[in-house]
Copies of this chain bind each other. A is one copy, B any other.
Amino acid sequence: MATLKEVAKRARVSAGTVSHVLSGNTPVSPALRKRVQDAIAALDYCPDHVARSLKTGRTKTVGIVIPDITNPFFPQIIRGAESVFWGRDYSLLTLNTDDDLERERRALAFLRSRQVDGVLLIIAPNRGDVSHIRRTLEAGVPVVCLDRESEGLEDVDSVSVDDMAAAKECVSHLIAMGHREIAMLTGSLSLNNVRERVKGYKEALREAGIPSSCELIKEGDFRKGTGTRLCHEAFAAKRGRPTALFISNMLMTMGALEALTELGVRCPEDVAVATFDGFALPAFFRPAITAVVQPVYEIGRLGAEMLLQRLDGGTQPPPVHRKLAAELQVRESTLRAFKNTLAPARK
């Protein structure tokens, strides 16, 4: 592989001059510029990004740390981020944590040794331990939190969805369809956006004058198998079967659907199902599933732009916490009007 020096020699100029025509920051006479460009072409020269990084102290690489690229929710976030970095000569280093705190620690340490300029982070459940994130910050690497927020990270930029409002709207829809026994299958409650969804759920019930019961709230972890288990639990409850399921993501919904089949419970005849998610999937199930659709691509795009601003290093505004709106898409799975036997007498 040809080096800059070889280009310089062939063009009979100094290394500095080659560098100048490459960067365009310093004027170079047309004659020399031409010679340099010819030499570059002749040698098929390609600047060594590693050497450049060492010299400039910037790698033009950002890490993106996500739970699992295999969950269709996250790739769209990555594409959103990629759309802003691609073309600006940045690379994205993707790392999966499987929502495991230890893996998140390792991922951050890894990115630090790789000298990334910044990090986009979807935090794993962390019972308040954000020391590893603080260490990244202290090393001068800006972080932007995506999709989820965390205690102790109030000074870190974030972009997420207004989960509370979205959950409330969805549950209100369920209530409007006549449901009162609405079971909620959630992700880990140590995730603040999951807690926001629970808040929205409770708020909707409160407004409708329906007492909420913690028996109806089943904590899970966004995995398919857990959806199956929690759904079985919900239907085994002493208080009677729920008439609606409000589930925190599509993977768990897929699991719950399996459980329903096993139980011989039909949707939407016997139970309504609504889910959180950002992917087109819910529309393809039969019945098509009512979903709170999050602007995933936009989360990635906006997060990347916020990070870029921190990287460009002008005057830095105080930390920003952007909240995006989700959209409720009502489909067959909740469209059957339900007359709850437990409902109060109608006037």
**Which A residues have a C-beta under 8 Å from some C-beta of B?**
1, 44, 46-51, 53-54, 59, 68-70, 72, 75-76, 78-79, 82, 89, 91-94, 96, 109-110, 112-115, 135, 139-140, 254, 257, 280-281, 284-287
Contact = CB atoms under 8 A, between A and B. Distances in A.
What's the number of copies of this chain in the assembled complex? 2
B50 A59 contact: yes
A177 to B, nearest CB: 21
A136 to B, nearest CB: 11
Nearest to A74: B75
Given A135-B44, A140-B1, A285-B285, A50 B96 contact: no
A341 B139 CA distance: 73
A79 B78 CA distance: 15
A94 B96 contact: no
B114 A49 contact: yes
A257 B288 CA distance: 13
A285 B286 CA distance: 6
B78 A47 contact: no
A92 B94 contact: yes
Contacts of A110: 89, 91
Question: What 5 A-B pairs are tightest by C-beta distance, nearest first?
Answer: A286-B286, A69-B75, A70-B75, A50-B53, A49-B113
Contacts of A287: 286
A112 B93 CA distance: 16
A74 to B, nearest CB: 8
Nearest to A79: B70
A280 B223 CA distance: 14
Contacts of A286: 285-287
A275 to B, nearest CB: 13
Given A69-B78, A76-B70, A254-B284, A54 B46 contact: no
A108 to B, nearest CB: 11
